[in-house]
Amino acid sequence: MELTESKCTFYVSQLLKTSRPGNHLAPLELKKYPLDINLCPVALTKRYLELTGHLRGLYIQLFISFKAPHKPVTTPTLSRWCRKVLRLANIDNNFKSHSTRSAATSAALAAGVSLKEINRAAGWTSSIVFARFYKRPITENFGEKLLLKKLNTP
């Protein structure tokens, strides 16, 4: 991970199920969100690293357990945390942590992001994968509505 004042870039070094020789996931870049520091991925990542720095030890994985012995968390723990956040956001229980990929890529397409850019961000070489398994109809952008509601709330 590289963290600057304007962005946070994650590099996936391990092979994923979608990886193959000569084709691996491109770096994930999250840019600063200046409208609300409480929603800014750069500011929140910096704060998280500050708060967990004394617990981290030699571990380089971003997410560590908040319970002793503060080791890197496992995939099931990340999934459980994601489901909890979805529940707290009053998002239908039918959505699981894996659903976020489908929702995000479908919303990106609806917002005018090109298929080429979606494929690059998701690590897909073909639009067929997106069309067959991830493309879902987007009736409304609930994420945008949540952000606008938060920004308009005193």
Identify the domain containing residue 41 by its residue range.
1-57
> What does the pLDDT look like over 57-74, one tens digit per residue?
888 889 999 888 889 999
Euclidean distance between CA atoms 70 and 134, whole angstroms: 35
Q: How many domains does the chain have?
A: 2
Nearest to 82 by CA among 105, 106, 63, 109: 63
Residue 79 lies in a domain: no
> What does the pLDDT look like over 105-117, one tens digit per residue?
777 777 788 888 8
54 CB burial (10 A radius; 0-12, 13-18, 19+) = exposed
Residue 78 lies in a domain: no
> What does the pLDDT look like over 31-61, one tens digit per residue?
999 999 998 999 999 999 999 988 888 888 8
Euclidean distance between CA atoms 1 and 106, whole angstroms: 26
Euclidean distance between CA atoms 67 and 89, whole angstroms: 24
The pTM of the whole model exceeds 0.95 = no
